[in-house]
């Protein structure tokens, strides 16, 4: 589209606003309430412009660009109007910092005792220096405010975890309200009251916690003033530099910017990069600093002496560990590998178990994984599920089926795309324990009853009715149709939702089925996956498995490429082996429930944080945490990203690979050590075919480890499951996928962070 | 079969008359008629508002056309005996024009009714609004039948466009064009909405129409829905109008039962259902985009236009929003033709307009007059002029968004363009008459406070600007104003007018701008001479006792609530000005024939 702005010919894409067109052409138009990714609000009135032929000034942020528009952004009248409007906005916002004659030298004098500022709002304002209002005031040219200031004297809300809300600094731009509803699908925030008493916040009388806030921090990130600020940084100095990391807390692989200063990590903010595009969740936004700088960190090596763990130099601990491991028989040694480590360390763990320990059992699964289930399916049926793993495309689906998956908590970025899809009119169908929100409600909620495969079969039966004859030419259809038809469709209270869900799925042009380990890694998992696959084939829906643990898919690919090290046992097998006393030694680097009496004769614990098992170990080896090691991470989509260490590891903690090299040398493998971490990555890329050509310089946005398998496949034979009587069998420890662990290796996030514990309790 | 009654008593059951006891009067009438065994000869009917609320409770006796007013249950036995039995109309209960002695017996001879032209209010005082049969008996739903069976949607729109009907909610957008835009907009779901969120202080046109003739609105909406292709609609009615809500609900039920709403209306295959939505209790809910948000269940705040509701309305679908009065005009236009309608009014403003006439006026009430009638006619002929011998000062038209028109513009014809050029606006049709005892600065402050209070808080100029304007005005009425304040007021008014998001903010400065334009001398008197010419602003007036007239009767001393008056019997009393709270009780306590207490607003020393 072609329009004229301030006398210049400007080109822009169809669908953009006048504001976007102007900014795209380098014409600065100040604005406050506008924010990329949010719908236009047109409340601040700072971006008013003149359009030829229109009697009134129009907000550039909410006016669609059109061919032939003649726009003027800087007529004297508009410039004066903007100034006066901003003055009115500032009348309700402490503005001393904007008009202070000493503002130029202020930053040098920040050490002033912060007491006077409570009313004037200058030195105390936590956003001073990066406040958008300051920038806009400078752009608009406000250097005095002729309207008398009104300090609203509202109580600062300090009752919620993680951040304070000081609405005395709020300018009512509504960004927080919109991001909460439009992007996060939560709608916890709203405008309250009206006129001069207008405020934003949760329902009156409720704290955010009580109102159902998940503390994703999106409102804090879009706030242009100091009204919403993370409590931990409220009274801190500014970050001196930033470093990007990949969040290790779930499989989504959000890119975060760590704000750093001498003392370490100050804060973590989501970066505007794939896949998270400026969004995060409570874990990434607020728990990184506490996890890395936790008082529970293991900072020194320890060995058991006279019944007590004593801090010793790392060499002594390594000697002790080597001696103990040498004494145990190799086939009666088990290794539990963490999945929340970068590929480099995971690779060395793998080699260590296979070549050095020659361990009889090795596992890296915190619990059953979706990768394992997919592999099992491929082995059973002879073809890999053509599951495209990328999250892109969910937002344009016409129907979304969330099968027993808590997207909000466990897959927050996938959830954001579901929010987009549902706001765009997609039907949202949930099954089992799938989460929904007040704005993104399930159109149909399917109960799974005592047998999830039976429920899937019931859905398939209704789908056959709704989509009669579809896909009948595909191999295996007859058998599948027979099995599904064995579950007779009927009407009635139980059947109705299934019929509705089937209609929604069948009528959608594109549908996507989301599931994770909770659905497919349990005892019924394979059967459920088979039904889901057949349903996907029947409806043309896309099957989208989501991995729950950081680097799960990367480590899985690594394991496949390197071949099974020894007999690859699941965690459940290791656990029962331990209880049966099958093992003489356990090298524990990943999470495991409290061993208690099943502690084997010799226990080495290599971890970042103290836990029950570490406290009982013979040898404790301190490991560096994610932000300290850097390294290569693969998210659920197969997106690969490498980052450099952001902070130094505390005390004697070293990257896992370094610790393993020291131990391997003592166990007769002096060549185990690699010259540096780049060399390890090079070695991985040579051995894992899918990583061929990856280099850390390639941005994670473009390199995918998991490319979708070719579409196609056939219906797989399924039994016609009858609903079981009674309750679903309760899972054994270590076996059930259950709810995913809110853990970082051995560190329980909920136990380590009071705020996070409160958010979990509130649900 | 119903007997053929000799006489109908049409008792007004509008909110005004009801609040004066119309239901008691009706009960008394019915009882009296039964007591005298006249049930088969006289029928009592409760009708909608007649508009002459000043004189309630009122009753019209047909077929004689005799108009009774200010009825009390005690009057009823006499009325029945004299009028019904003896055929002698009761002169005592008839209307006597102000300043005259002879009553005017017939409704059609009363000045208040004589000059009105009823289209929207055609059924007022004639039918029982709770009975759809009575509406149908007066040609009701004939227009809907014509539109559905004889006309194409394009034909309906062409007829409405040709009639020149413009939106009666304030802005005056041509209704035909609005419908045309909605019809052309894509998609197959469309909505029609009736805006009954009348929030202007002192305005009650929409309430009256909904109470007196709800079926006219429903019929208009059926025709509109047919024209634009809507199958669902909403009547958004203020929650503060319980009677209007109840009548609308009842009328919808009846229309559904008669097959005039629902599936396959009149066998034409056209489906439409309407439902009532209760207003959210804010002035801004009447703004069309805010109203749509409210229907959707969201907070009633406006959004920028375009897109207009006719492109993207309720739930993003094309929506036609018209106000109550506009919808009520539609059946008459369809039934009698565009030419008939456009013969009334001026070149650009066709038809009639309903106004609520309130304030310092003899005949408070609701009037419907042809467009283009001069203001003077409305105020002095229909409204009966200013009571108590006071002089006309200004008329405020269009509620808080409108402006104050001075006496010099009394010959202004009432149409959209003339009012706009005078700085006011048609608004929904509120007219507040002010006499010389009204301070224009104080009035501007009153309307500004209303706008400030009702601002939704979304956009900065309206939220903060109206409050700031009110602050400056309050400063002026307190006698603390300066010359800069006047300039500041004008600057703020321009900021709010040009900067605000919706009509509420854009028009909120109008009362200030028009009073500054026509009554600047009054502002200047407050600012420079520190006096309030109308003797209203408390900070600028004082009370004094004229020693030459005071007879020392102690009445004012006893009345003073703060003991600010000193004096003994038969001795001249004195007001202690420091203690005086300017409540004015002494003034009313002093007997009129003495008139010793005087309210003045002297110029401050060194006044310009």
Confidence of residue A577 (pLDDT cuts 50, 70, 90): confident
- Which one of A41, A59, A88 has the shortest CB-CB distance to B468? A88
A197 interfacial to chain B (CB closer than 8 Å): yes
Confidence of residue A724 (pLDDT cuts 50, 70, 90): low
Instruction: For residue B334, give how far its alpha carbon lies from the nearest alpha carbon of chain A (Å).
Output: 34
Q: Is the peptide bond before A103 cis (omega within 30 degrees of 0)?
A: no
Architecture (CATH level 2) of domain A2-108: Roll (3.10)
Strand partners, B104: B95
How many CB atoms lie under 10 A from the CB of residue B36? 15
A42 interfacial to chain B (CB closer than 8 Å): yes
- Whether residues B316 and B336 fall in one domain: yes
Of B326, B321, B270, B274, the closest CA to residue B151 belongs to B270
Test B461 with A195 for CB contact under 8 angstroms: no
What gap in Å lies between CA B302 and CA B305, rounded to an integer? 9
Confidence of residue B2 (pLDDT cuts 50, 70, 90): low
pLDDT higher than 80, residue B141: yes
Test A48 with B499 for CB contact under 8 angstroms: yes
Test A172 with B457 for CB contact under 8 angstroms: yes
- Whether residues B293 and B219 fall in one domain: yes
- Whether residues B326 and B359 fall in one domain: no
C-beta of residue B569 within 8 angstroms of C-beta of residue B558: no
In the block, residue with structure tokens 């899918």: A690
In chain B, how many domains are there?
5
Of A390, A227, A340, the closest CA to residue A609 belongs to A340
pLDDT higher than 50, residue B421: yes
**What is the reported pLDDT for A738?**
45
Q: Compute chain A's Rg from CA coordinates.
A: 29
A92 interfacial to chain B (CB closer than 8 Å): yes
Contacts of A84 in chain B (CB under 8 A): 491-492, 495, 499
Q: Of the given ranges (A42-46, A109-113, B534-538), which has the lowest mean pLDDT?
A: A109-113
Test A194 with B303 for CB contact under 8 angstroms: no
Test A91 with B464 for CB contact under 8 angstroms: yes
Contacts of A58 in chain B (CB under 8 A): 304
Report the helix count and the strand count for chain A, using DSSP H and E. 29, 28
Last residue of a domain, one of B435, B464, B488: B435
Test A44 with B460 for CB contact under 8 angstroms: yes
Q: pLDDT tens digits, residue range B451-503?
A: 999 999 999 999 999 999 999 999 999 999 999 999 999 999 999 999 999 99
Contacts of A57 in chain B (CB under 8 A): 498-499
Give me the CATH number covering residue B102. 3.40.30.10
Alpha-helical segments (H) within B280-357? 288-295, 324-336, 338-342
Instruction: For residue B463, give how far its alpha carbon lies from the nearest alpha carbon of chain A (Å).
Output: 5
pLDDT higher than 50, residue A112: no
Test A196 with B467 for CB contact under 8 angstroms: yes
Q: For A647, phi and psi rounded to 5 degrees?
A: -135, 165
Test B458 with A84 for CB contact under 8 angstroms: no
- Whether residues B370 and B422 fall in one domain: yes
Test B464 with A147 for CB contact under 8 angstroms: yes
Test B499 with A57 for CB contact under 8 angstroms: yes
B468: containing domain = 440-529
Number of alpha carbons in the 13 Å side-chain half-sphere of residue B525: 20
Determine which of A43, A173, A182 to mutate to test the interface with B (most B C-beta atoms within 10 Å). Answer: A43
Strand partners, A445: A430
Contacts of A44 in chain B (CB under 8 A): 459-460
Inter-CA distances, A185 with A212, A214, A216, A683, Å: 12, 11, 11, 43
Instruction: For residue B459, give how far its alpha carbon lies from the nearest alpha carbon of chain A (Å).
Output: 4
Please check whether residue B104 lies inside any domain of the structure: yes
Of A371, A268, A281, A251, the closest CA to residue A639 belongs to A251
What gap in Å lies between CA B23 and CA B71, rounded to an integer? 11
Angle (CA) A39-A42-A45 rounded to 5° is 150
A144 interfacial to chain B (CB closer than 8 Å): no
Provide the ipTM: 0.90
pTM for the full model?
0.90
- Which one of B282, B460, B465 has the shortest CB-CB distance to A194? B282
- Whether residues B260 and B400 fall in one domain: no
Angle (CA) A412-A415-A418 rounded to 5° is 165
Contacts of B494 in chain A (CB under 8 A): 81
pLDDT higher than 70, residue A726: no
Instruction: For residue A542, give how far its alpha carbon lies from the nearest alpha carbon of chain B (Å).
Output: 29
Strand partners, B61: B9, B66
pLDDT higher than 50, residue B590: yes
Confidence of residue A110 (pLDDT cuts 50, 70, 90): low
Structure-derived torsion over alpha carbons of residues A398, A399, A400, A403, reported in degrees to the nearest 10? -160
- Whether residues B288 and B158 fall in one domain: yes
DSSP per-residue letters across B128-192: -TT-HHHHHHTTTTHHHHHHHHT--HHHHHHHHHHHT-B-TTSS--BHHHHHHHHHHSSSS--EE
C-beta of residue A216 within 8 angstroms of C-beta of residue A273: no
Q: How would you classify the pairing of strands A427-431 and A444-446?
A: parallel
A38 interfacial to chain B (CB closer than 8 Å): no
Of B298, B120, B133, B287, the closest CA to residue B216 belongs to B120
Angle between helices B483-499 and A76-90 (to 10 degrees): 100
Taking CA–CA distances from A61, the nearest residue in chain B reads B304
C-beta of residue B77 within 8 angstroms of C-beta of residue B339: no
Q: Is the peptide bond before B306 cis (omega within 30 degrees of 0)?
A: yes
Please give the average per-residue pLDDT across A375-382, as a whole number.
87
A152 interfacial to chain B (CB closer than 8 Å): no
What gap in Å lies between CA B114 and CA B397, rounded to an integer? 22
- Whether residues B522 and B546 fall in one domain: no
Please give the average per-residue pLDDT across A338-360, as a whole number.
88
Please give the average per-residue pLDDT across A531-557, as a whole number.
90
What gap in Å lies between CA A578 and CA A569, rounded to an integer? 12
- Whether residues B224 and B357 fall in one domain: no
Please check whether residue B605 lies inside any domain of the structure: no
pLDDT higher than 80, residue A494: no
C-beta of residue B223 within 8 angstroms of C-beta of residue B144: yes
- Whether residues B151 and B253 fall in one domain: yes
The tokens of A563 are what? 């071949």
Please check whether residue B256 lies inside any domain of the structure: yes
Please check whether residue B122 lies inside any domain of the structure: no
Q: pLDDT tens digits, residue range B194-212?
A: 999 998 888 889 999 999 9
C-beta of residue A130 within 8 angstroms of C-beta of residue A136: no
Q: For B593, phi and psi rounded to 5 degrees?
A: -70, -20
Confidence of residue B46 (pLDDT cuts 50, 70, 90): very high
Of A332, A329, A353, A325, the closest CA to residue A559 belongs to A353
C-beta of residue B289 within 8 angstroms of C-beta of residue B305: yes
- A301-364+551-691: CATH topology is Rossmann fold (3.40.50)
Determine which of B306, B452, B455, B459 to mutate to test the interface with A (most A C-beta atoms within 10 Å). Answer: B459
A62 interfacial to chain B (CB closer than 8 Å): yes
What gap in Å lies between CA B90 and CA B67, rounded to an integer? 10
Strand partners, B448: none
Burial class (CB in 10 A: 0-12, 13-18, 19+), B361: buried
Determine which of A31, A34, A42, A45 to mutate to test the interface with B (most B C-beta atoms within 10 Å). Answer: A45
Contacts of B465 in chain A (CB under 8 A): 85, 88
**What is the reported pLDDT for B25?**
95
**What is the reported pLDDT for B472?**
96
What gap in Å lies between CA B136 and CA B210, rounded to an integer? 16
Taking CA–CA distances from A84, the nearest residue in chain B reads B495
- Whether residues B328 and B400 fall in one domain: no
What gap in Å lies between CA A740 and CA A132, rounded to an integer? 39
Q: Would you kindly state where each structural domain of chain A is located, as residue ranges?
A: 2-108, 301-364+551-691, 370-546+724-732
Burial class (CB in 10 A: 0-12, 13-18, 19+), A82: buried
The tokens of B430 are what? 């509120």
What gap in Å lies between CA A631 and CA B181, rounded to an integer? 59
**What is the reported pLDDT for B290?**
95
Please give the average per-residue pLDDT across A450-469, as a whole number.
86
Please check whether residue B56 lies inside any domain of the structure: yes
Please state whether B8 falls in left (phi above 0), alpha (psi between -120 and 50) or beta: beta
Q: What is the sign, positive or negative, of the torsion defined by CA atoms of B11, B15, B17, B22?
A: positive
- Which one of B460, B488, B498 has the shortest CB-CB distance to A57? B498
Number of alpha carbons in the 13 Å side-chain half-sphere of residue B166: 22
In the block, residue with structure tokens 């009325």: B79
Give me the CATH number covering residue B272. 3.40.50.11540
**What is the reported pLDDT for A725?**
53
Q: pLDDT tens digits, residue range A300-332?
A: 999 999 999 999 999 999 999 999 999 998 888
- Residue B328's SS3 state is helix
Instruction: For residue A57, give how far its alpha carbon lies from the nearest alpha carbon of chain B (Å).
Output: 7
Please check whether residue B1 lies inside any domain of the structure: no
Cβ contacts of A408 within 8 Å, gap of 6 or more: A214, A415, A435, A437
Of B452, B428, B277, B463, the closest CA to residue B353 belongs to B428
Test A84 with B495 for CB contact under 8 angstroms: yes
Angle between helices B214-228 and B142-149 (to 10 degrees): 10
How many CB atoms lie under 10 A from the CB of residue B267? 9
> Which class in CATH covers the domain with range A370-546+724-732?
alpha beta
A146 interfacial to chain B (CB closer than 8 Å): yes
Determine which of A85, A90, A441 to mutate to test the interface with B (most B C-beta atoms within 10 Å). Answer: A85
Q: For B575, phi and psi rounded to 5 degrees?
A: -95, 130
Give me the CATH number covering residue B564. 3.30.70.20
Q: For A143, phi and psi rounded to 5 degrees?
A: -120, -5
In the block, residue with structure tokens 């959209």: B416
Q: pLDDT tens digits, residue range B373-417?
A: 999 999 999 999 999 889 999 999 988 888 999 999 999 999 999
Structure-derived torsion over alpha carbons of residues B374, B375, B378, B381, reported in degrees to the nearest 10? -70
- Whether residues B198 and B270 fall in one domain: yes
Residue-averaged pLDDT of chain A: 86
Burial class (CB in 10 A: 0-12, 13-18, 19+), A668: exposed
Instruction: For residue A368, give how far its alpha carbon lies from the nearest alpha carbon of chain B (Å).
Output: 44
What gap in Å lies between CA B337 and CA B160, rounded to an integer? 9
Sequence length of chain A is 763
Confidence of residue A733 (pLDDT cuts 50, 70, 90): very low
Taking CA–CA distances from A148, the nearest residue in chain B reads B468
Q: pLDDT tens digits, residue range B312-367?
A: 999 999 999 999 999 999 999 999 999 999 999 999 999 999 999 999 999 988 99
Cβ contacts of A66 within 8 Å, gap of 6 or more: A1, A3
What gap in Å lies between CA A160 and CA A147, rounded to an integer? 34
Confidence of residue B606 (pLDDT cuts 50, 70, 90): very low
**What is the reported pLDDT for A657?**
93
Number of alpha carbons in the 13 Å side-chain half-sphere of residue A444: 23
A-B Cβ pairs (cutoff 8 Å, strict): 98
Test A194 with B467 for CB contact under 8 angstroms: no
Angle between helices B205-212 and B214-228 (to 10 degrees): 100
Determine which of B460, B462, B493 to mutate to test the interface with A (most A C-beta atoms within 10 Å). Answer: B460
- Residue B61's SS3 state is strand
What is the percent of chain B where pLDDT is above 70?
99
- Residue A218's SS3 state is helix
Contacts of B467 in chain A (CB under 8 A): 195-196
Taking CA–CA distances from B457, the nearest residue in chain A reads A195
- Whether residues B227 and B323 fall in one domain: yes
What gap in Å lies between CA A125 and CA A118, rounded to an integer? 8
């Amino acid at each position: 589209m072609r329009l004229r702005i301030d006398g210049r010919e400007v080109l822009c894409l169809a669908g953009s606003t006048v504001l976007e067109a102007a900014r795209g052409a380098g014409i600065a138009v100040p604005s406050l309430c506008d924010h990329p990714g949010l719908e236009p609000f047109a409340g601040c009135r700072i971006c008013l412009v003149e359009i030829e032929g229109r009697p009134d000034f129009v907000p550039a942020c909410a006016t669609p660009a059109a061919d032939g528009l003649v726009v003027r952004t800087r007529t004297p009248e508009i410039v004066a109007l903007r100034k006066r409007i901003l003055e009115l906005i500032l009348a309700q916002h402490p503005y001393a910092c904007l008009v202070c004659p000493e503002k130029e030298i202020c930053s040098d004098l920040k050490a002033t005792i912060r007491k006077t500022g409570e009313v004037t709002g200058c030195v105390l304002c936590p956003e001073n220096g990066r406040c958008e209002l300051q920038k806009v005031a400078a752009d608009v040219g406000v250097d005095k405010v002729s309207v008398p200031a009104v300090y609203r004297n509202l109580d600062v809300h300090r009752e919620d975890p993680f951040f304070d809300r000081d609405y005395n600094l709020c300018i009512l731009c509504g960004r927080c309200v919109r991001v909460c509803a439009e992007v996060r699908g939560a709608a916890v925030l709203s405008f309250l009251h009206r006129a001069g008493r207008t405020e934003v916040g949760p329902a009156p009388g409720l704290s955010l916690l009580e109102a159902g806030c998940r503390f994703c921090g999106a409102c804090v990130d879009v706030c242009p003033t100091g009204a919403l600020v993370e409590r931990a940084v409220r009274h801190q100095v500014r970050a001196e530099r930033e470093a990007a990391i990949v969040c290790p807390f779930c499989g989504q692989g959000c890119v975060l910017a760590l704000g750093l200063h001498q003392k370490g990590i100050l804060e973590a903010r989501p970066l505007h990069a794939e896949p998270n595009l400026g969004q995060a969740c409570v874990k990434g936004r607020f728990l990184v600093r506490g996890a890395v700088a936790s008082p529970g960190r293991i900072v020194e090596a320890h060995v058991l002496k006279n019944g007590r763990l004593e801090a010793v130099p790392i060499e002594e601990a390594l000697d002790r560990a080597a001696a103990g491991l040498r004494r145990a028989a190799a086939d009666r040694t088990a290794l539990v590998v963490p999945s929340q480590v970068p590929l480099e360390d995971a690779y060395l763990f793998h080699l260590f178990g296979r070549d050095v320990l020659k361990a009889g059992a090795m596992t890296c699964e915190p619990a059953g994984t979706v990768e394992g289930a997919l592999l099992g399916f491929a082995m059973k049926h002879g073809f890999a599920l053509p599951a495209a793993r990328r999250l892109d495309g969910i937002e344009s689906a016409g129907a979304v089926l969330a099968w027993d998956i808590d997207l909000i908590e466990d897959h927050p970025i996938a959830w954001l795309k579901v929010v987009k899809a549902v706001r765009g009119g997609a039907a949202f169908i949930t099954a089992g324990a799938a989460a929904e929100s007040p704005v993104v409600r399930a159109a149909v909620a399917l109960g799974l009853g005592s047998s999830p495969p039976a429920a899937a079969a019931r859905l398939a039966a209704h789908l056959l009715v709704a989509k009669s004859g579809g896909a009948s030419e595909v191999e295996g259809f007859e058998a599948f149709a027979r099995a599904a038809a064995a579950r007779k469709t009927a009407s009635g209270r139980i059947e109705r939702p299934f019929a509705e869900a089937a209609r929604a799925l069948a009528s959608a042009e594109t549908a996507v089925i989301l599931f994770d380990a909770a659905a497919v890694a349990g005892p019924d998992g394979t059967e459920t996956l088979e039904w889901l696959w057949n349903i996907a084939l029947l409806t043309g829906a896309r099957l989208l498995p989501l991995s729950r643990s950081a680097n799960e898919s990367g480590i899985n690919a690594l394991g496949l490429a390197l071949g099974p090290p020894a007999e690859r046992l699941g965690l459940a097998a290791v656990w029962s082996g331990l209880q049966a006393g099958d093992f003489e030694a356990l090298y524990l680097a990943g999470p495991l429930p409290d061993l208690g009496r099943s502690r084997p004769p010799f226990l080495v614990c290599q971890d970042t944080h103290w836990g029950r098992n570490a406290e009982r170990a013979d040898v404790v080896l301190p490991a560096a945490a994610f932000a300290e090691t850097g390294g290569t991470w693969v998210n659920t989509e197969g997106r690969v990203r490498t980052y450099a260490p952001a902070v130094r590891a505390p005390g004697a903690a070293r990257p896992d690979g370094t610790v393993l090299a020291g131990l391997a040398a003592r166990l007769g493998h002096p060549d185990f050590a690699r010259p540096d971490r780049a060399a390890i990555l090079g070695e991985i890329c040579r051995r894992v075919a899918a990583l061929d050509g990856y280099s850390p310089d390639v941005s994670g946005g473009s390199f995918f480890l998991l490319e979708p398998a070719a579409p196609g496949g056939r219906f797989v034979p399924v039994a016609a499951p009858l609903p079981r009587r009674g309750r679903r069998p309760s899972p054994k420890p270590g076996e059930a996928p259950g709810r995913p662990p809110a853990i970082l290796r051995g560190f329980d996030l909920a136990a380590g962070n009071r705020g996070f514990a409160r958010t979990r309790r509130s649900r | 079969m119903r007997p053929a009654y000799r006489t109908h008593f049409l008792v007004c059951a509008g909110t005004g008359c009801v609040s004066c006891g119309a239901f008691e009067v009706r009960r008394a009438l019915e009882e009296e008629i039964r007591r005298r065994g006249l049930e088969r000869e006289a029928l009592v009917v409760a009708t909608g508002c007649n508009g002459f609320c000043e004189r309630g409770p009122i009753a019209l006796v047909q077929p004689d056309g005799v108009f009774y007013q200010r009825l009390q249950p005690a009057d009823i036995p006499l009325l029945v005996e004299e009028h019904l039995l003896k055929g002698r109309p009761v002169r005592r209960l008839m209307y006597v024009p102000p300043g005259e002695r002879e009553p005017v017996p017939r409704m059609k001879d009363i000045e208040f009714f004589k000059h009105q032209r009823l289209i929207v209010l055609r059924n007022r005082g004639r039918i029982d609004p709770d009975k759809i049969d009575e509406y149908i008996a007066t040609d009701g739903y004939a227009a809907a039948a014509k539109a559905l069976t004889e006309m194409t949607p394009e034909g309906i729109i062409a007829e409405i466009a040709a009639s020149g009907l413009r939106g009666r909610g304030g802005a005056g957008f041509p209704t035909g064009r609005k419908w045309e835009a909605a019809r052309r907009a894509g998609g197959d779901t469309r909505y029609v909405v009736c805006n009954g969120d009348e929030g202007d202080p002192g305005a009650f046109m929409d309430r009256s129409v909904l109470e007196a003739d709800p079926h006219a609105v429903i019929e208009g909406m059926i025709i509109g829905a047919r024209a634009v292709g809507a199958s669902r609609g909403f009547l958004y009615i203020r929650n503060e109008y319980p009677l209007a809500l109840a009548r609308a609900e009842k009328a919808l039920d009846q229309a559904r039962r008669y097959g005039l709403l629902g599936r396959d209306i009149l066998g034409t295959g056209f489906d439409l259902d309407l439902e009532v939505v209760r207003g959210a209790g804010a002035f801004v809910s009447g703004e069309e985009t805010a109203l749509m948000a409210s229907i959707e269940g969201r907070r009633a705040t406006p959004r920028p236009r375009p897109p207009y509701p006719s492109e993207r309305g309720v739930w993003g679908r094309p929506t036609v929003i018209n106000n109550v009065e506009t919808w009520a005009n539609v059946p008459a236009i369809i039934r009698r033709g565009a030419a008939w309608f456009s013969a009334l009014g001026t070149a650009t403003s066709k038809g009639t307009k309903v106004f609520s006439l309130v304030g310092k006026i003899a005949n408070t009430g609701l009037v419907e007059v042809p467009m283009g009638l001069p203001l003077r006619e409305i105020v002095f002929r229909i409204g009966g002029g200013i009571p108590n011998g006071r002089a006309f000062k200004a008329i405020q038209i269009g509620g808080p968004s409108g402006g104050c028109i001075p006496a010099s513009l009394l010959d202004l014809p009432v149409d959209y363009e003339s009012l706009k050029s005078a700085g006011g606006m048609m608004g929904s049709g509120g007219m507040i008459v002010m006499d010389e005892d009204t301070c224009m600065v104080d009035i501007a402050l009153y309307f500004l406070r209303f706008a400030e209070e009702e601002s939704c808080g979304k956009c900065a100029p309206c939220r903060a600007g109206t409050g700031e304007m009110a602050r400056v005005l309050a400063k002026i009425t307190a006698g603390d104003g300066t010359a800069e304040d006047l300039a500041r007021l004008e600057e703020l008014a321009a900021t709010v007018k040009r900067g605000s998001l919706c009509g509420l903010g854009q028009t909120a400065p109008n009362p200030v701008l028009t009073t500054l334009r026509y009554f600047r001398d009054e502002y200047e008197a407050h600012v420079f001479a520190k006096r309030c010419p109308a003797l209203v602003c408390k900070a600028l007036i004082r009370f004094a006792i004229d020693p030459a007239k005071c007879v020392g009767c102690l009445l004012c001393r006893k009345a003073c609530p703060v003991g600010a008056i000193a004096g003994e019997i038969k001795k001249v009393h004195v007001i202690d000005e420091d203690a005086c709270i300017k409540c004015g009780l002494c003034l009313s306590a002093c007997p009129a024939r003495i008139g010793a207490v005087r309210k003045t607003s002297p110029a401050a020393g060194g006044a310009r």
